Amino acid sequence: MIDYYAGVKILRNKTTKEPIGIEWRLENGKRTRYYPEDTKAEWFLMFVE
């Protein structure tokens, strides 16, 4: 399983494995999650690739 890449992790649905969000890991250890309203949006799919 891919963990963080350059401080970013793609969050996936446990059942379908579809991407559902993004998690950033900052240098100070804090994490921030973002769940887009439209997971089929072109910008989100490009980011996931």
pLDDT of residue 22: 92
CB 46 within 8 Å of CB 24: no
10-residue mean pLDDT profile of the chain (49 residues): values are 72 92 89 92 84
- Within a domain: 18: yes
The reply to whether 3 falls in a domain is no
For residue 1, is it within any domain?
no
pLDDT of residue 4: 63
What does the pLDDT read at residue 3?
A: 63
Residue 45 CA from chain centroid, whole number = 10
Determine the structural domain holding residue 34 and report its residue range: 8-48
Domain membership flag for residue 42:
yes
- Is residue 2 in a domain? no
If one counts the domains in the chain, the total is 1
| The predicted structure's pLDDT at residue 7 | 83
In-domain check, residue 30 = yes
Q: How many residues does the chain have?
A: 49
